[in-house]
């Protein structure tokens, strides 16, 4: 049960892992065909929907297996397998190339290495890619990059034509994810290498900045077949009026080291008027963790949601955290809790935000989330690639499916270039204001 209970619910598309796909070496086709067969069979045996989302799974095999058999390279084979996965039309079905899984985030001089971090994040805004955050101590900041700047080209490759290549049929929420992926996979690179990025600032002026990529900050964590993730937890006081005390806790991925750090942060803000959990850009991780994290804010074992697998239904039940890391008895935080989400909030983060929203324990601010909330596993295939495959379907305690829908904020806070250029954070401001009203 471990694995299932672990309920590894990693993000898929849109994750750093998925972003690490690289040029492939030559194929060994027999192993490749075996990999095609293995991937097909794993999904046949474990997909949560025995009707395969309306897809004739046997027919898909019959159609694509001959193509896998004649694939002339690993790249071709992977394309066939990915085509098979795409037929399901659901998130959390993807093929992670062996070299990306093994090399993810670990640095080194390998070609295609994307472990170097530029220290900035981006989102799609009105058809263009805009810088939404710049890490204060990171290389983009050192190069003078500012939020609100549009990204125009990376190492001479213009961004607009890349975005134009995205399928017109792509749903809006997926377009956000793919645009992010398109830019992120290019602005990242080998640690120590330099990205020459052309921006347009707030006045429309074109600026070129040389950004020396650095090793990704955070504590590296590798779980099983998953790529390495770098865990970062931040905590600070929100800017708040009238002596209001509001703690902001953010983390970038759901991995076990996060739990103790969030616990310590909650301890620090136990006397605050409110706590804001910033899950913007958090693509997910270990779904079982939402039972523990929610317990910092719930004094009863309340069901946040359920995961329906083919065999049964499992519940995500909060574990009230009545003892802190120092071994002292405490009460879970009972004040107002706000959760910030955006178009790159995915998977376990969505299960958590949607679950807390559904039971009325948190109010959600920001933009709709990814809508990619299927608990998944990572199986190693015979050729070394890793198959990401969903085996469960998450619903909140109100029966709301998040897959394909995402978490819809209680208070929308649309991304605005003016706000970014001015250093304003509308979602944060609205969350603080709600806490202020709640405390009256």
Partner 1 sequence: MRAPQLTSRVARLVLILLAVGALAGAAQDAVRQTSDLPAARDVIRRFVTAIGGGDAVRKYKSRRAIGRFEVPSQGLAGDLEVLAMPPDRQVVRISLAGLGDIRNGFDGKVAWLINPMTGPMLLEGQARDHARMDADFYSELHDESRFKTMETVARTEFEGTPAYKLRLVRASGEDDIEFFSVDTGLLIGSIISRQSPMGPMEATSSYSDYKDFGGVLAAARMRQKVMGVEQVIVITRVEYDTLDEGVFALPPQIKALVK
- List interacting residues with partner 1 (CB under 8 A): 1-8, 45-46, 221-226, 255-256, 259, 263, 286, 288-289, 291-292, 295, 307, 309, 311-317, 319, 321-323, 327-329, 377-380, 391
Question: Terminus-to-terminus CA distance in the chain, angstroms?
Answer: 46
Give the shortest CB-279-to-partner 1 separation in angstroms: 17
Q: Which CB sits closer to partner 1, 139 or 392?
A: 392
Helices 29-46 and 57-69 cross at an angle (nearest 10°) of: 170
Give the shortest CB-259-to-partner 1 separation in angstroms: 6
Give the shortest CB-307-to-partner 1 separation in angstroms: 8
Contact 295, 332 (CB under 8 A): yes
Give the shortest CB-424-to-partner 1 separation in angstroms: 36
Contact 196, 155 (CB under 8 A): yes
Q: What DSSP letter does each residue of 186-222 carry, written as one string?
A: HH-BSTT-EEEEEEE-TTS-EEEEEEE-EEPPSEEE-
Q: Which CB sits closer to partner 1, 295 or 354?
A: 295
Give the shortest CB-3-to-partner 1 separation in angstroms: 5
Q: Which CB sits closer to partner 1, 81 or 420?
A: 81
- Checking 57-66 for CB contacts under 8 A at 24+ apart, the result is 60/84, 60/87, 64/36, 65/33, 65/36, 65/37, 65/40
Q: Which CB sits closer to partner 1, 12 or 221?
A: 221
Q: Which CB sits closer to partner 1, 129 or 359?
A: 359
Give the shortest CB-80-to-partner 1 separation in angstroms: 22
Pairing of strands 206-212, 194-200: antiparallel
Give the shortest CB-391-to-partner 1 separation in angstroms: 7
Q: How far is CA 46 from CA 4, 287, 372, 382, 393, in A?
A: 12, 18, 18, 18, 12
Q: Which CB sits closer to partner 1, 221 or 427?
A: 221
CA dihedral 183→346→216→121, nearest 10 degrees, is 40
Q: Which CB sits closer to partner 1, 126 or 328?
A: 328
Helices 29-46 and 74-86 cross at an angle (nearest 10°) of: 20
Q: Which helix (H) or strand (E) holds 275?
A: strand 274-278
Phi-psi region of 388 (alpha: psi -120 to 50; beta: other; left: phi over 0): beta
Q: How far is CA 102 from CA 106, 215, 222, 384, in A?
A: 8, 16, 10, 10
Q: What's the gap between Cα 169 and its chain centre? A: 22
Q: Which CB sits closer to partner 1, 3 or 210?
A: 3
Give the shortest CB-318-to-partner 1 separation in angstroms: 9
Give the shortest CB-384-to-partner 1 separation in angstroms: 11
Q: Which CB sits closer to partner 1, 1 or 26?
A: 1
Contacts of 197 (CB under 8 A, 6+ apart): 118, 145, 151, 153, 154, 155, 187, 208, 209, 211
- The tokens for 59 are 């027919």
């Amino acid at each position: 049960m471990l694995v299932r209970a672990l309920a590894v619910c990693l993000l898929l598309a849109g994750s750093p892992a998925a972003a690490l796909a690289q040029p492939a070496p030559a194929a060994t086709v027999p192993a490749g065909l075996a990999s095609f067969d293995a991937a097909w069979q794993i999904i046949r045996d474990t997909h949560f929907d025995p009707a395969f989302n309306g897809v004739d799974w046997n027919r898909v095999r019959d159609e694509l297996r001959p193509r896998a058999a004649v694939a002339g390279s690993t790249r071709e084979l992977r394309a066939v397998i990915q085509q098979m996965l795409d037929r399901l039309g659901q998130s959390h079905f993807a093929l992670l190339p062996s070299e990306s899984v093994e090399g993810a985030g670990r640095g080194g001089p390998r070609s295609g290495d994307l472990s170097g971090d530029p220290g900035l994040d981006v989102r799609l805004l009105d058809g263009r890619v805009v810088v939404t955050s710049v890490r204060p101590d990171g290389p983009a900041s050192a190069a003078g990059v500012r939020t609100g700047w549009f990204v125009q080209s990376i190492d001479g490759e213009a961004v607009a034509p890349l975005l134009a290549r995205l399928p017109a049929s792509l749903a809006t929420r997926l377009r956000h994810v793919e645009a992010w992926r398109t830019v992120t996979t290019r602005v990242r690179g080998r640690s120590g290498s330099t990205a020459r990025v052309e921006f347009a600032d707030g006045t429309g002026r074109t600026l070129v900045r040389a950004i020396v990529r650095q090793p990704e900050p955070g504590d590296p964590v590798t779980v099983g077949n998953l790529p390495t993730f770098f865990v970062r937890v931040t905590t600070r006081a929100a800017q708040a009026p009238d002596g209001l005390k509001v703690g902001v806790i953010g983390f970038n991925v759901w991995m076990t080291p996060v739990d103790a750090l969030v616990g310590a942060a909650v301890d620090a803000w136990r006397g605050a008027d409110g706590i804001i959990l910033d899950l913007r850009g958090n693509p997910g991780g270990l779904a079982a963790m939402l039972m523990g994290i929610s317990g910092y804010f719930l004094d009863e074992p309340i069901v946040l949601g359920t995961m329906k697998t083919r065999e049964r239904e499992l519940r995500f039940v909060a574990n009230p955290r009545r003892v802190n890391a120092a071994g002292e008895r405490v009460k879970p935080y009972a004040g107002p809790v706000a959760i910030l989400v955006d178009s790159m909030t995915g998977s376990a983060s969505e299960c958590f935000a949607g679950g807390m929203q559904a039971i009325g324990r948190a109010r959600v601010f920001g933009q709709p989330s990814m809508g990619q909330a299927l608990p998944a596993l990572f199986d190693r295939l015979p050729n070394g690639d890793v198959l990401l495959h969903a085996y469960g379907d998450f619903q909140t305690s109100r029966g709301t499916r998040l897959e394909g829908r995402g978490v819809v904020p209680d208070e929308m806070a649309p991304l605005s270039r003016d706000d970014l250029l001015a250093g304003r954070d509308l979602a944060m401001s609205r969350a603080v204001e709600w806490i202020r009203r709640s405390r009256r």
